Each structure stands twice: as C-alpha cells, then as structure tokens.
A = this chain, B = another copy of it.
Amino acid sequence: MVWFASDNTAPMHPAVLAALSAANKGHAASYGADEITARLTARLREVFGNPHLMAFPTFNGSATNGVALASIMRPFEATIATRDAHIQNDECGLPEFFTGAKILIAPDVLGKLTPEGIEAIVALSQDHAPHAARPKVISLTQSTEIGTVYGVEELRALRAVADRHGLLIHMDGARLANGVAALGVSPAEAVTGVDILSFGGTKAGAALAEAVVILNPALIRDFEYWHKRMGQLPSKMRFVSAQLLALIEDDLWLTLARHANGLAQRLAEGLSGLEGVALVYPQAANALFVTLPPALAEALQAAGHRFYPWSLAGEHVYRLVCSFATTEDEVTAFLTDCKMHLLSR
C-alpha cells in the first residue's frame, strides 16, 4: 500500500525515537522545568534568530492553534482567515471554543490572505462596532492548506496591514518545515512579521509534538495558564520537547521537508501532461491537489494507493501528500500506475 493520504499517516523519524529513548533516563522535573525543554527553547531561539522567544510544547495541531489564538485575543474579537484554513475547516469548532471568538473569512488568492482582503474585513467591522466582532488577529498558514507558500514580501505586506490596524499575526505552522524548504529562506524569514506561531512537529516527523512559539515577547505573560487550562500542558514534558529537539537539531526538519517537497514536485511533474489530469493549484510544498478522472482515481485506489478527495477544492479533486517517509519508489509506482491505467483504456 502506498500512502499519499496525509503526512500524519507516516511513522516518527528514527531520530525522534532515538531522542525519546535518550530522554528516558531517571526522574525529571515535570511541566517544563526539565533540561530538555530548556535546550529546546535555546535551540528554537537560534533557529528563529530571536533571543526572546518562548516555546510551550503541546500535543496536537488543532489545540495548538486554539491555545495560541485564545492567549492573544478576547472573546469579542475575531480572527481573519481563509476559507480553507485549518482553523476554519478542520478543527470542528475548536478555535471558536478555545477563544470564544469568531473567525471572519477573507477572500484569498491561491489560499493566501491579501492586504486588500483584510482591509475589506476590517472596514466592514469598524463601521459596525460593537455589533460586529472586532478583528484582532490575522491567521496565516505556512505552507497553506492547499500547498502554496507565502513569500517574504507577502508576509511583509501583511505585517504592514496588521500594524495599520493594531492586529496581531498568528501563523499556523503545522507544515512550516515544508514552507521554509519551499522558500529556500531561513526559518526567521519564513515567519516574517509573525507574533505567535503554531510550530508543527507531528507532520514534520515527530510522533506527537507541537509547540506554541511566542515570537513577540509582549505576548508571553501568563501563557502558562492558557497552556494548562486548554489541556495542552504535558506533565512529562521532556517527552514532547525531546521530539521537537530531535527535529531541529542539525536542521533535520528542513532536510526531511526538502525530501517531501522534492517528491511532491516529481509527482507534479509526472502528472502534468497526463490526459484528464490537472493540477488545481501550483505545487510549492509537499501537498498536491489534482483533478483525476473518476476511473483513474478508482483504479489507483484499487491498486493500493491511499489518498483523499478534497471536495472543498471542487469535484473530482484529490489531495496527494508526501512526507519524510515517502520514497522515490512510491512516487514512481504511483506515476506508473497512472500511466498504465491511461494506456489500458
């Protein structure tokens, strides 16, 4: 069976398992007062070139977004996001629950928010206070849910609009590794203008490890209470921190993301030109969205390939995701099976 269903069907990377094993020595202070967590924070400060950031290891992506947002807004405020943002579309109302606040959908271009779209939302709300929730946060996803990537200039432009209106910027970085790798810039540049980051480990190669990384020091105060109250404070925190540390020491996360992105590119190239197959969005990171003829989709599933329809993007659209665990052979097999099917008709 070949899995392009999601980057969360992958196992953990061997280095992550090794780190868990190494962390499993004797007693350690709980709730983050351990040495591994201290080293994680120190390494994240290097990675993001930010000596003031604070990292709060967490369990899963949806909750990481939720607790990050909750900590920087009040319940009468609103988050601006795209229609296919994870917080809008894949979290079963968790962000509204954690924050008490609305999500306002702004128009997007290729899955990315634009200054104009945000200005429009802000203008509508200002005209209508206090009946309309007041925008407070712009939530970006890097790389986006449809596999595109915000360029550094785009991030700068969003920061400018944020500053104009006193907004904060949250980044859902569940696939930040893929974003950084796609951009070919430093992690610091890939989070330009961001105040608070959901730093993704699970899709990058961990078993289960994420973190809220607060880049803007003015927002750090009292976060420990949110961390606790939202059920995201690990008692034996070293075992979450160790996973993240394994990924960012020696930049393993970026090496793995380059691998995944590269295979997605190969897949995109191999699929382009096949009859009836079309890329819905330009490939940039590790996820492809393709229109497949129904018979082809069926044949591939029958041949053991695993992937999901993505109805939000239209009829007959499917998502193909590569991860650190995807192999060249798997990509080759998928492409071969495509060609075989098309020839066999």
Contact = CB atoms under 8 A, between A and B. Distances in A.
Interface of A: 1, 3, 5-6, 8-12, 14, 17, 20-21, 23-30, 59-63, 66-67, 74-78, 89-94, 96-98, 100-102, 105, 123-124, 127-134, 202-203, 207-208, 222, 224-236, 239-240, 306, 309, 311-312, 325
Contacts of A226: 76
Contact of A208 (B66, B77, B239, B309): B239
A67 B97 CA distance: 13
A78 B45 CA distance: 34
A9 B24 CA distance: 11
Contact of A325 (B27, B60, B312): B27
A330 B94 CA distance: 44
A329 to B, nearest CB: 13
Given A231-B60, A239-B207, A325-B27, A225 B130 contact: yes
Given A17-B20, A30-B8, A236-B207, A311 B124 contact: yes
A229 B312 contact: no
- Per DSSP, are chain A's interface residues mostly helix, strand or loop, or mixed? loop
Find the residue from A62, A123, A227, A312 having the highest chain B CB count within 10 A.
A62
A229 B124 CA distance: 18
B59 A60 contact: yes
Given A12-B24, A239-B12, A133 B231 contact: no
27 contacts: A8-B236, A9-B30, A11-B27, A11-B28, A12-B239, A14-B24, A24-B207, A60-B235, A62-B228, A62-B233, A63-B231, A63-B232, A66-B231, A75-B97, A77-B225, A91-B228, A92-B131, A92-B133, A92-B229, A93-B100, A94-B230, A97-B230, A127-B309, A127-B311, A130-B227, A133-B229, A207-B236
A27 B12 contact: no
Contact of A100 (B96, B203, B231): B96
Contacts of A62: 228, 231, 233
Given A27-B3, A231-B231, A90 B128 contact: yes
For the complex of A and B, the 7 pairs showing the least CB-CB separation, nearest first, are A63-B231, A76-B225, A8-B235, A59-B59, A207-B239, A3-B27, A130-B228
B93 A75 contact: yes
Nearest to A66: B231
A34 to B, nearest CB: 9
Nearest to A105: B105
A133 to B, nearest CB: 5
B93 A101 contact: yes
B124 A94 contact: no
